[in-house]
Protein backbone atom coordinates (compact mmCIF):
# COMPACT_ATOMS: atom_id res chain seq x y z
CA UNK A 1 0.00 0.00 0.00
CA UNK A 2 1.45 3.39 -0.94
CA UNK A 3 1.57 5.88 1.94
CA UNK A 4 -0.45 9.03 1.34
CA UNK A 5 -0.65 12.36 3.20
CA UNK A 6 -2.70 15.44 2.37
CA UNK A 7 -1.98 18.96 3.64
CA UNK A 8 -4.99 21.23 3.18
CA UNK A 9 -6.03 24.84 3.68
CA UNK A 10 -2.44 25.99 3.13
CA UNK A 11 -0.98 29.06 1.48
CA UNK A 12 1.27 27.19 -0.92
CA UNK A 13 4.38 28.99 -2.15
CA UNK A 14 4.84 27.72 -5.71
CA UNK A 15 7.84 28.73 -7.91
CA UNK A 16 5.90 31.65 -9.47
CA UNK A 17 2.93 32.40 -7.20
CA UNK A 18 1.23 31.79 -3.88
CA UNK A 19 -2.04 29.83 -4.03
CA UNK A 20 -4.44 28.51 -1.40
CA UNK A 21 -5.21 24.82 -1.53
CA UNK A 22 -3.86 21.37 -0.78
CA UNK A 23 -0.82 19.23 -1.52
CA UNK A 24 -0.97 15.44 -1.73
CA UNK A 25 2.13 13.37 -0.99
CA UNK A 26 2.54 9.76 -2.04
CA UNK A 27 5.57 7.73 -0.93
CA UNK A 28 7.66 10.77 -0.03
CA UNK A 29 7.05 12.62 -3.29
CA UNK A 30 4.64 15.45 -4.13
CA UNK A 31 1.89 13.79 -6.19
CA UNK A 32 -0.38 16.77 -6.87
CA UNK A 33 -1.31 20.31 -5.95
CA UNK A 34 -4.97 21.34 -5.88
CA UNK A 35 -6.32 24.87 -5.53
CA UNK A 36 -9.83 23.71 -4.58
CA UNK A 37 -11.08 23.19 -1.03
CA UNK A 38 -10.84 19.64 0.33
CA UNK A 39 -12.22 18.31 3.59
CA UNK A 40 -9.72 15.56 4.41
CA UNK A 41 -6.12 15.87 5.48
CA UNK A 42 -3.92 17.81 7.88
CA UNK A 43 -5.38 21.36 8.22
CA UNK A 44 -2.68 24.05 7.86
CA UNK A 45 -5.15 26.74 9.09
CA UNK A 46 -3.95 29.14 6.42
CA UNK A 47 -0.25 28.79 7.27
CA UNK A 48 2.35 28.89 4.52
CA UNK A 49 3.52 25.64 2.95
CA UNK A 50 7.01 26.06 1.52
CA UNK A 51 9.78 23.72 0.30
CA UNK A 52 12.32 22.56 2.89
CA UNK A 53 15.21 25.03 2.97
CA UNK A 54 18.59 24.17 1.42
CA UNK A 55 21.58 25.55 3.32
CA UNK A 56 24.96 25.59 1.55
CA UNK A 57 27.31 27.26 4.02
CA UNK A 58 26.95 26.87 7.76
CA UNK A 59 29.72 26.60 10.33
CA UNK A 60 27.14 26.18 13.09
CA UNK A 61 28.31 22.61 13.89
CA UNK A 62 31.65 23.98 15.14
CA UNK A 63 30.01 25.77 18.06
CA UNK A 64 28.42 22.52 19.27
CA UNK A 65 31.65 20.53 18.89
CA UNK A 66 33.97 23.19 20.36
CA UNK A 67 31.68 25.14 22.72
CA UNK A 68 34.60 26.74 24.67
CA UNK A 69 38.30 27.14 23.84
CA UNK A 70 39.94 23.79 24.58
CA UNK A 71 36.63 21.96 25.14
CA UNK A 72 35.58 19.23 22.70
CA UNK A 73 32.11 17.71 22.87
CA UNK A 74 31.29 14.16 21.74
CA UNK A 75 31.17 14.50 17.95
CA UNK A 76 27.95 12.51 17.39
CA UNK A 77 26.18 14.40 20.20
CA UNK A 78 27.38 17.67 18.66
CA UNK A 79 26.08 16.66 15.22
CA UNK A 80 22.68 15.73 16.71
CA UNK A 81 22.35 19.01 18.61
CA UNK A 82 23.32 20.99 15.50
CA UNK A 83 20.91 18.93 13.38
CA UNK A 84 18.05 19.63 15.80
CA UNK A 85 18.50 23.37 15.43
CA UNK A 86 18.91 23.08 11.66
CA UNK A 87 15.65 21.12 11.28
CA UNK A 88 13.62 23.40 13.54
CA UNK A 89 14.85 26.32 11.41
CA UNK A 90 13.09 24.70 8.44
CA UNK A 91 16.29 23.41 6.81
CA UNK A 92 15.93 19.90 5.37
CA UNK A 93 19.16 19.80 3.34
CA UNK A 94 22.33 21.17 4.91
CA UNK A 95 25.95 21.48 3.82
CA UNK A 96 28.11 21.45 6.93
CA UNK A 97 31.32 23.45 6.49
CA UNK A 98 34.52 21.73 7.52
CA UNK A 99 37.80 23.68 7.55
CA UNK A 100 40.64 22.45 5.40
CA UNK A 101 43.95 24.14 6.24
CA UNK A 102 44.76 26.11 9.37
CA UNK A 103 43.58 29.69 8.91
CA UNK A 104 43.29 32.74 11.12
CA UNK A 105 40.32 31.26 12.96
CA UNK A 106 42.11 27.87 13.26
CA UNK A 107 42.37 26.21 16.63
CA UNK A 108 41.55 22.70 15.42
CA UNK A 109 44.01 19.80 15.42
CA UNK A 110 44.76 17.74 12.31
CA UNK A 111 42.20 14.97 11.97
CA UNK A 112 39.40 16.71 13.86
CA UNK A 113 37.49 17.65 10.71
CA UNK A 114 37.72 14.05 9.46
CA UNK A 115 36.38 12.88 12.83
CA UNK A 116 33.43 15.28 12.50
CA UNK A 117 32.72 14.02 8.98
CA UNK A 118 32.77 10.44 10.28
CA UNK A 119 30.33 11.45 13.03
CA UNK A 120 27.96 12.98 10.42
CA UNK A 121 28.18 9.78 8.36
CA UNK A 122 27.54 7.51 11.33
CA UNK A 123 24.69 9.62 12.71
CA UNK A 124 23.05 9.59 9.27
CA UNK A 125 23.40 5.82 8.87
CA UNK A 126 21.97 5.17 12.32
CA UNK A 127 18.88 7.27 11.56
CA UNK A 128 19.78 9.90 14.19
CA UNK A 129 19.35 12.93 11.94
CA UNK A 130 16.35 14.99 10.87
CA UNK A 131 17.88 16.90 7.94
CA UNK A 132 19.92 15.43 5.10
CA UNK A 133 23.57 16.37 5.63
CA UNK A 134 26.26 16.95 3.01
CA UNK A 135 29.76 18.30 3.44
CA UNK A 136 31.17 21.61 2.24
CA UNK A 137 34.98 21.69 2.41
CA UNK A 138 36.18 25.23 3.09
CA UNK A 139 39.68 25.16 1.68
CA UNK A 140 42.02 27.88 2.93
CA UNK A 141 44.35 27.75 -0.09
CA UNK A 142 46.94 30.01 1.55
CA UNK A 143 47.53 27.44 4.33
CA UNK A 144 50.58 25.16 3.94
CA UNK A 145 48.64 22.12 5.21
CA UNK A 146 45.40 22.46 3.22
CA UNK A 147 46.08 19.47 0.95
CA UNK A 148 46.89 17.19 3.89
CA UNK A 149 43.36 17.74 5.20
CA UNK A 150 41.75 17.77 1.76
CA UNK A 151 43.33 14.41 0.86
CA UNK A 152 41.39 12.79 3.71
CA UNK A 153 38.15 13.53 1.80
CA UNK A 154 38.97 12.41 -1.74
CA UNK A 155 36.56 9.45 -1.71
CA UNK A 156 33.92 10.93 0.58
CA UNK A 157 30.64 10.91 -1.31
CA UNK A 158 29.03 13.38 1.09
CA UNK A 159 31.38 16.08 -0.21
CA UNK A 160 29.41 17.92 -2.89
CA UNK A 161 30.77 21.43 -2.47
CA UNK A 162 34.23 22.93 -1.95
CA UNK A 163 35.11 26.59 -1.58
CA UNK A 164 38.46 28.17 -2.35
CA UNK A 165 39.29 30.86 0.17
CA UNK A 166 42.27 33.05 0.92
CA UNK A 167 41.95 35.01 4.15
CA UNK A 168 45.54 36.29 4.15
CA UNK A 169 45.90 40.05 4.73
CA UNK A 170 45.65 42.09 1.52
CA UNK A 171 43.46 39.43 -0.14
CA UNK A 172 39.73 39.49 -0.91
CA UNK A 173 37.81 39.85 2.41
CA UNK A 174 40.77 41.80 3.77
CA UNK A 175 41.75 44.01 0.84
CA UNK A 176 42.52 46.77 3.30
CA UNK A 177 44.27 46.23 6.61
CA UNK A 178 41.62 47.98 8.74
CA UNK A 179 39.23 45.02 8.94
CA UNK A 180 42.06 42.50 9.25
CA UNK A 181 43.58 44.41 12.16
CA UNK A 182 40.21 44.63 13.90
CA UNK A 183 39.51 40.93 13.35
CA UNK A 184 42.78 39.42 14.35
CA UNK A 185 44.82 41.95 16.32
CA UNK A 186 42.31 43.95 18.32
CA UNK A 187 40.00 41.03 19.10
CA UNK A 188 42.90 38.86 20.26
CA UNK A 189 44.91 41.55 21.94
CA UNK A 190 48.10 40.75 19.96
CA UNK A 191 51.15 42.96 20.52
CA UNK A 192 52.35 45.15 17.63
CA UNK A 193 55.41 42.98 16.99
CA UNK A 194 53.55 39.68 17.16
CA UNK A 195 50.89 41.03 14.80
CA UNK A 196 53.51 42.31 12.34
CA UNK A 197 55.29 38.94 12.30
CA UNK A 198 51.98 37.19 11.77
CA UNK A 199 50.98 39.46 8.86
CA UNK A 200 54.35 38.88 7.15
CA UNK A 201 54.01 35.12 7.56
CA UNK A 202 50.46 35.03 6.20
CA UNK A 203 51.38 37.18 3.19
CA UNK A 204 54.31 34.88 2.37
CA UNK A 205 52.10 31.81 2.69
CA UNK A 206 49.48 33.29 0.40
CA UNK A 207 52.11 34.19 -2.22
CA UNK A 208 53.64 30.75 -2.12
CA UNK A 209 50.70 28.37 -1.70
CA UNK A 210 47.45 29.92 -2.94
CA UNK A 211 48.02 29.49 -6.69
CA UNK A 212 49.18 25.85 -6.69
CA UNK A 213 46.62 24.77 -4.06
CA UNK A 214 43.78 26.41 -5.99
CA UNK A 215 44.86 24.46 -9.05
CA UNK A 216 45.08 21.03 -7.38
CA UNK A 217 41.77 21.36 -5.50
CA UNK A 218 39.78 22.77 -8.42
CA UNK A 219 41.09 20.06 -10.73
CA UNK A 220 40.02 17.32 -8.33
CA UNK A 221 36.56 18.87 -7.91
CA UNK A 222 35.99 19.27 -11.65
CA UNK A 223 36.97 15.63 -12.24
CA UNK A 224 34.71 14.33 -9.46
CA UNK A 225 31.52 16.34 -9.86
CA UNK A 226 32.09 18.44 -6.71
CA UNK A 227 30.62 21.94 -7.12
CA UNK A 228 33.25 24.66 -6.72
CA UNK A 229 32.69 27.93 -4.91
CA UNK A 230 34.75 31.10 -4.90
CA UNK A 231 34.85 33.08 -1.66
CA UNK A 232 35.02 36.81 -0.92
CA UNK A 233 35.82 37.74 -4.53
CA UNK A 234 36.49 41.48 -4.71
CA UNK A 235 37.71 42.31 -8.22
CA UNK A 236 36.99 41.41 -11.84
CA UNK A 237 40.33 39.55 -11.89
CA UNK A 238 39.09 37.32 -9.07
CA UNK A 239 35.90 36.63 -11.02
CA UNK A 240 37.90 35.86 -14.17
CA UNK A 241 39.95 33.35 -12.22
CA UNK A 242 36.74 31.78 -10.85
CA UNK A 243 35.32 31.44 -14.37
CA UNK A 244 38.54 29.71 -15.53
CA UNK A 245 38.36 27.26 -12.64
CA UNK A 246 34.74 26.29 -13.32
CA UNK A 247 33.26 27.92 -10.24
CA UNK A 248 29.43 27.75 -10.02
CA UNK A 249 28.83 29.47 -6.70
CA UNK A 250 30.21 32.89 -5.75
CA UNK A 251 30.17 33.09 -1.95
CA UNK A 252 30.10 36.48 -0.25
CA UNK A 253 31.50 38.70 -3.02
CA UNK A 254 32.79 41.84 -1.33
CA UNK A 255 32.05 44.36 -4.09
CA UNK A 256 28.98 45.04 -6.23
CA UNK A 257 31.08 44.75 -9.39
CA UNK A 258 32.38 41.27 -8.45
CA UNK A 259 28.82 40.18 -7.57
CA UNK A 260 27.42 41.48 -10.85
CA UNK A 261 30.15 39.91 -12.96
CA UNK A 262 29.73 36.55 -11.18
CA UNK A 263 25.95 36.61 -11.65
CA UNK A 264 26.30 37.57 -15.31
CA UNK A 265 28.78 34.74 -15.87
CA UNK A 266 26.07 32.30 -14.72
CA UNK A 267 27.34 31.69 -11.21
CA UNK A 268 24.92 31.74 -8.27
CA UNK A 269 25.77 34.68 -6.03
CA UNK A 270 25.46 33.75 -2.33
CA UNK A 271 25.22 36.21 0.56
CA UNK A 272 24.56 35.76 4.26
CA UNK A 273 21.02 35.79 5.61
CA UNK A 274 22.29 37.47 8.82
CA UNK A 275 23.44 40.32 6.57
CA UNK A 276 19.81 40.76 5.37
CA UNK A 277 18.41 40.54 8.90
CA UNK A 278 20.97 42.94 10.38
CA UNK A 279 20.80 45.33 7.44
CA UNK A 280 24.47 45.00 6.45
CA UNK A 281 27.64 42.94 6.71
CA UNK A 282 29.31 42.33 10.08
CA UNK A 283 32.71 42.80 8.41
CA UNK A 284 31.81 46.07 6.71
CA UNK A 285 31.40 44.75 3.16
CA UNK A 286 28.42 45.12 0.79
CA UNK A 287 24.77 44.69 1.84
CA UNK A 288 22.93 41.58 0.60
CA UNK A 289 19.71 43.55 0.30
CA UNK A 290 21.29 45.91 -2.27
CA UNK A 291 22.23 42.91 -4.41
CA UNK A 292 18.70 41.52 -4.03
CA UNK A 293 17.17 44.81 -5.14
CA UNK A 294 19.55 44.93 -8.12
CA UNK A 295 18.43 41.41 -9.12
CA UNK A 296 21.91 39.89 -8.75
CA UNK A 297 21.41 37.86 -5.56
CA UNK A 298 20.74 34.16 -6.15
CA UNK A 299 21.23 32.33 -2.85
CA UNK A 300 21.04 33.13 0.85
CA UNK A 301 22.94 31.17 3.50
CA UNK A 302 22.37 31.14 7.24
CA UNK A 303 26.16 31.31 7.82
CA UNK A 304 26.32 31.42 11.63
CA UNK A 305 22.58 31.71 12.60
CA UNK A 306 20.40 28.83 11.29
CA UNK A 307 17.07 30.59 11.91
CA UNK A 308 18.18 33.65 9.91
CA UNK A 309 17.59 31.78 6.64
CA UNK A 310 13.80 31.73 6.86
CA UNK A 311 13.63 35.13 8.53
CA UNK A 312 15.69 36.78 5.77
CA UNK A 313 13.62 35.16 3.00
CA UNK A 314 10.36 36.43 4.48
CA UNK A 315 11.88 39.85 5.11
CA UNK A 316 12.97 40.24 1.47
CA UNK A 317 9.74 38.72 0.16
CA UNK A 318 7.54 41.06 2.16
CA UNK A 319 9.60 44.25 2.10
CA UNK A 320 10.99 44.33 -1.44
CA UNK A 321 8.19 44.65 -3.96
CA UNK A 322 10.30 43.61 -6.97
CA UNK A 323 11.10 40.30 -5.25
CA UNK A 324 7.92 38.95 -3.62
CA UNK A 325 7.61 35.73 -1.64
CA UNK A 326 8.06 33.08 -4.41
CA UNK A 327 11.36 34.62 -5.58
CA UNK A 328 12.55 35.16 -2.02
CA UNK A 329 11.83 31.51 -1.15
CA UNK A 330 13.73 30.40 -4.30
CA UNK A 331 16.85 32.04 -2.80
CA UNK A 332 16.78 29.50 0.03
CA UNK A 333 15.37 26.45 -1.79
CA UNK A 334 15.40 25.78 -5.55
CA UNK A 335 18.42 27.88 -6.54
CA UNK A 336 20.85 26.53 -3.93
CA UNK A 337 19.60 22.99 -4.68
CA UNK A 338 20.15 23.42 -8.42
CA UNK A 339 23.58 25.00 -7.91
CA UNK A 340 24.90 21.85 -6.23
CA UNK A 341 23.11 19.47 -8.61
CA UNK A 342 20.29 18.40 -6.26
CA UNK A 343 17.52 18.70 -8.83
CA UNK A 344 15.10 16.42 -6.97
CA UNK A 345 14.13 19.03 -4.33
CA UNK A 346 13.66 22.69 -3.47
CA UNK A 347 10.26 23.39 -5.03
CA UNK A 348 6.60 22.58 -4.49
CA UNK A 349 5.89 20.78 -7.75
CA UNK A 350 4.63 17.40 -8.86
CA UNK A 351 7.39 14.81 -8.73
CA UNK A 352 9.60 16.77 -6.32
CA UNK A 353 10.81 15.28 -3.04
CA UNK A 354 8.25 16.08 -0.32
CA UNK A 355 10.55 18.23 1.85
CA UNK A 356 8.00 20.62 3.30
CA UNK A 357 7.84 23.29 6.01
CA UNK A 358 4.73 24.74 7.62
CA UNK A 359 5.35 28.37 8.51
CA UNK A 360 3.14 30.77 10.41
CA UNK A 361 3.79 34.43 9.76
CA UNK A 362 1.05 36.68 11.02
CA UNK A 363 2.67 39.99 11.64
CA UNK A 364 5.91 40.70 13.44
CA UNK A 365 9.41 40.19 12.11
CA UNK A 366 10.03 36.55 12.89
CA UNK A 367 8.20 33.69 11.18
CA UNK A 368 7.45 30.52 13.16
CA UNK A 369 8.39 27.06 11.89
CA UNK A 370 5.48 24.88 13.02
CA UNK A 371 6.30 21.51 11.43
CA UNK A 372 8.86 20.03 9.04
CA UNK A 373 8.73 16.94 6.81
CA UNK A 374 11.55 15.31 4.88
CA UNK A 375 10.54 12.99 2.04
CA UNK A 376 7.04 13.10 3.52
CA UNK A 377 8.18 12.02 6.97
CA UNK A 378 7.67 14.38 9.91
CA UNK A 379 11.09 15.32 11.31
CA UNK A 380 10.35 18.42 13.41
Contacts to Fe ion by CB under 5 A:
173, 232
55 or 83, CB closer to Fe ion?
A: 55
Min separation Cβ 283 and Fe ion, Å: 8
173 or 311, CB closer to Fe ion?
A: 173
Q: What residues have CB less than 8 Å from 62, skipping those under 6 apart?
A: 97
232 or 355, CB closer to Fe ion?
A: 232
8 or 60, CB closer to Fe ion?
A: 60
Min separation Cβ 350 and Fe ion, Å: 39
93 or 173, CB closer to Fe ion?
A: 173
47 or 232, CB closer to Fe ion?
A: 232
Edge-to-edge strands of the sheet including 53-58? 53-58, 91-100, 132-140, 159-165, 227-231, 249-251, 268-272, 299-301
Min separation Cβ 99 and Fe ion, Å: 12
Min separation Cβ 138 and Fe ion, Å: 9
Q: What residues have CB less than 8 Å from 375, skipping those under 6 apart?
A: 28, 29, 353, 354, 355
Dist CA 328 CA 291 (whole Å): 13
Min separation Cβ 304 and Fe ion, Å: 12
131 or 199, CB closer to Fe ion?
A: 199
Q: Specify the 3-state DSSP secondary structure of 67.
A: coil
How does 107-144 read in b/e, with b if 16+ C-beta sit within 10 Å? ebeeebbeebbebbbebbeeeebbbbbbbbbbbbbbbe
Please identify the residue of the shown chain whose CB is closest to the bound Fe ion. 173
26-30: long-range contacts, CB 8 A cutoff, minimum separation 24? 26/2, 27/2, 27/3, 27/376, 28/3, 28/353, 28/354, 28/375, 28/376, 28/377, 29/351, 29/352, 29/353, 29/354, 29/375, 29/376, 30/348, 30/349, 30/350, 30/351, 30/352, 30/353, 30/354
Min separation Cβ 62 and Fe ion, Å: 15
Min separation Cβ 165 and Fe ion, Å: 6
Amino acid sequence: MPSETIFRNARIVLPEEVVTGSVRIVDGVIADIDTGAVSVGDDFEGDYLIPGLVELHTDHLEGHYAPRPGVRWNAVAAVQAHDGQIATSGITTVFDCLRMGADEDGGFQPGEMRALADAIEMAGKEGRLRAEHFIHLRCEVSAPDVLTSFNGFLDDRRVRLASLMDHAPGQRQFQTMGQYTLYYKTKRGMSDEAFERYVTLRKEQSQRFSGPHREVISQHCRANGVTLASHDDATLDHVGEAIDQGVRLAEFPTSIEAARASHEAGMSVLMGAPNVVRGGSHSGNIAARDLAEAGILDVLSSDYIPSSLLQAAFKLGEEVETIGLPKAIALVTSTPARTVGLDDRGRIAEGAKADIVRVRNRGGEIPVVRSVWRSGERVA
